[in-house]
Structure 1
Amino acid sequence: MPENVELQQLVEEEQEEELKFHRPKSKNRYPYLGLILATLSSLFFSLCSVIVKWMSQVNPTALAAYRFLGVLLPAIPIMIYHRQPVYPKGKRIMLLLRCFTGTAGLMLSFYAFRHMPLSDASVIVFSVPVFTSIFARMFLKEPCGWFNVFSIILTFIGVVLITRPPIIFGNTINSLGESDQRPEMWGAVAAFSSTLFGANAYVILRALKDVHYSVIMANFGTYGFVQCIMFTYFIGALCLPTCGTDRYLIVALAVSSFLGQILLTTAMQMEQAGPVSIARSSDIVYAFIWQVLFFNEIPNRFSVAGAILVMSSIILTGLRKWVLALPHDAALKRKLSLLTK
């Protein structure tokens, strides 16, 4: 009799262990934490833009060098802790291309933030996810359906409304500003060029998905820091601000860059890419708020309309990524099948 009891207990324990093994794992205790972290990363990245525009006496390339230093220094101990190789074999050329495109994109975006209204520059620069589909089609042979074409056209219209080129609007509407148009026009060119470089950087990052993020950040920070230092040295703009407040702002720029990058990386590990890209569009909202609060620049109706179009395109692109990641038999995927075409 005792043997039967013990046998029954063993059977019950085995059944319980089997149930634990096959029981679906519980979801994250905080299901929206990834989206919150992505929104916070947008906050820190937008603060970087404010600092760049605020420190008008420092060359934007020099500020980019400080930002790269803020990415590089924390990435080194992380890479050492995980025992990652500095230059993984077979990935060196792609790492170099990622560093080049990312550095060029960041330098151009800093120039745009300096010479354009903050919200306008942020909208153009942040349209990167939309243009990524073009280069993904060209280099990775990824499908590009009617939805991608629609989102690209929507974004182009939004960018045109923001930049308001005279060739389209004539002389009846101010292009970008009311005074000297030349710096802001070059700022618009820099912002759009930054978007193209950034889109290529995203495509290259897809090819480097097997490389640890600390390796990518360390290489990116090293390459960008050296390139920016050399560039500012040759143009005679390499200097440290003499004012104590400006030095604090440089430290804040580096810290905000690192926090934004880490929060974004963590959010991508906790949440799907689609919802994260939607949450990251809050960067545009922050830019409008900072522009009014710190620089007393009221956006006109064309800038607001263009921002709405670009944000709509970004949100739709994020929703599409999320829908594509759903299980094949999900009811929501069938309802939103229009986004998958």
Structure 2
Amino acid sequence: MKIVTNILVDDITKSNTKTTTDNNNNISIQVDNGLIPTTQPSSSTTPGHNKSPVNGMVAKLVALPEHIPAFGLFSALFGVTMFSLASLIVKLLTELHSIEILVFRCVIQFVPYFILTVHKKHPFFGIVGHRLDLGLRCLSGTISMITLYMAYRLMPLTDASTIYLSSPLFVTIFAYILLKEKVTIVQALTGILTIVGVFIISKPVFLFGETNDDSNAVDIYPNRMTGIILSITGAVTSGYSLINLRKLRSTPVPVIVMWYSMVTVVIGSVLLPFIDRWILPYGLTTWLLLLAIGIAGVFNQLFLTLALKYESAGPISVTRSFNIVLSFIWEVTIFYEPVEWTSIAGAGLISSCVVIIALNKCYQENPEKFQKFYGRLLLCCKPQYRSESDSIVDTISESIDKQTNN
């Protein structure tokens, strides 16, 4: 008799195992964290019933996350890449106002999540008791994205992305004020370093003075300081939006994304006539880029949801720093803009603070999960560990076969 086992190797190597058999002759393995059932088809199953190509393909897709080490982290990296591609498109579509681009993105993003909400029969107006939180999340998220998209046009892409990445600092502040959470020493120190990083990027005259080396930057971005203020506003409202998301854990993700997209479309459509910048897009390239930014928005939400399903929020936050790396790549390879030392220093300081905050939070929430996170990274980087783990699984499977045959 051949038994197929799906076992978490970390649990096996750290705990004692034993086998049990239920009334249906299904074998389970007892480990520290509970029973992991391992079944085989009964003799009454029709031969070839589960061998159709469609069923096999679906089974492989469902089991895919279990066979890829750090699947949640890879999903988060894909989500960050989609977000960065959207910011690149905002810089490329100079003929359209950034708010109009955001409106088109959210129109495309709204459609699949509206269909998903209706199909899954989710509560259309959100969970009772959390509708105010849903509205505040949509409003703050809309303000955050509008200010960020406008900042992309007024300053280097890397600087805007880096300042926006400082939102964990404001999450800590809002959590202290609104949720009465205590501020740790790590949060205080990283908060101070984040502020220093923002100052380095903004290069205030009273600290750096005026130099001739900055003449090209001033010519390219004459409204740089306005962009910095917009980026900081985006970071603040993003932090407040994340606080509201904490209260919406029981609200389905499609409902949140659907209403956020709808609110953004409404507010953006109201603002554009007042600034007299509503322009009908023209040309195949423009329409394709607008379609691409909408698709990027959909996949950004999809990969982020998958990431949070298979990984905790702490390690996921670390991957946000990858957006800064991509921004540097876009600036150098596509826009041919010079990268200043202040941008590199500020980006390194802020991204390091984000990584420290995320890892510290992950360790505080669940030390065991924190160590498993590093274990998965070792599995990903060192294939020999996988072979040792597979041998453990094979040994346990053989012992189950012997006990069953006896």
TM-score tier, shorter chain, comes to: 0.7 to 0.9
How many residue pairs get aligned? The number is: 323
Which residue, out of 72, 96, 100, partners 1:34? 72
- 8 Å CA contact 1:176–1:184 kept in 2: the answer is no
Distance in structure 1 (CA, Å) of the matches to 2:370 and 2:75: 27
Question: Within 5 Å, which residues of 2 pair with 1:278-297?
Answer: 278-297=318-337
Runs (5+) with no aligned partner, structure 1: 1-10, 334-341
Of 139, 150, 156 in structure 1, the residue corresponding to residue 195 of structure 2 is: 156
**Counterpart residue identity of residue 253, structure 1:** I
Please give the residue correspondences for 1:143-222 in structure 2 after superposition, counting only pairs within 5 Å: 143-172=182-211, 174=214, 177-179=217-219, 182-222=222-262
Q: Which amino acid aligns with 1:212?
A: P
**Unaligned ranges ≥5, structure 2:** 1-18, 38-64, 374-406
Cα deviation, 1:69-112, whole Å, max 9, x if unaligned, reads 13211111111122111213222211111111000000000011
Distance 1:114 1:42 in 2: 20
1:252 matched to 2:260:
no
1:59 to partner: Cα distance:
0.5
161-170 or 42-51: bigger deviation: 161-170
Distance 2:194 2:94 in 1: 29
Question: Secondary structure at 2:219's aligned position in 1?
Answer: coil
| Cα deviation, residue 30, structure 1 | 2.1
What's the TM-score once normalised by structure 2's chain length?
A: 0.74
User: Normalising to structure 1: TM-score of the pair?
Assistant: 0.88
Q: Is 1:69 aligned with 2:77?
A: no
Distance verdict in 2 for CA 1:205–1:12, change over 3 Å? closer
Percent of pairs with identical residues: 29
The CA distance in 2 between the partners of 1:323 and 1:193, in whole Å, is 30
**Alignment check: 8 A CA contact 1:163 1:175 kept:** no
Match of 2:94 among 45, 56, 80: 56
The match for 1:316 is: 356
Q: Which protein is bigger by CA-based radius of gyration?
A: 2
How many Å separate the matches in 2 of 1:202 and 1:55?
Answer: 29
Q: Distance in 2 between matches of 1:120 and 1:262?
A: 26
Using the TM superposition, give the Cα deviation of residue 275 of structure 1 relative to its aligned residue in structure 2, in angstroms.
Answer: 1.0
Task: Say whether residues 1:134 and 2:173 are aligned partners.
Answer: yes
Q: Given the alignment, which residue of 78, 81, 91 partners 1:43?
A: 81
Given that 1:130 and 1:317 are in contact with CA atoms closer than 8 Å, whether structure 2 keeps it comes out as: no
> What CA distance in whole angstroms lies between the structure 1 residues aligned with 2:92 and 2:20?
68
Equivalent residue of 1:157, what SS?
helix
CA RMSD of aligned residues (A): 2.5
The 2-side partners of 1:17 and 1:298 are apart by: 64
Q: Please give the secondary structure, in 2, of the residue aligned with 1:177.
A: helix
Please show how residues 105-124 of structure 1 align to structure 2 within 5 Å.
105-124=144-163
Query: Which position in structure 2 is the counterpart of 1:326?
Result: 366
Equivalent-residue separation in structure 2 for 1:86 and 1:21 (angstroms): 42
Structure 2 counterpart of 1:240, one-letter code = L
Residue 167 (structure 1) shift: 2.6
Alpha-carbon shift at residue 210 of structure 1 (Å): 1.1
Displacement of 1:24 = 5.3
SS of the residue corresponding to residue 142 of structure 1 reads coil
Between the two structures, name the one with larger relative contact order (CA 8 Å, sep ≥ 6). Answer: 1
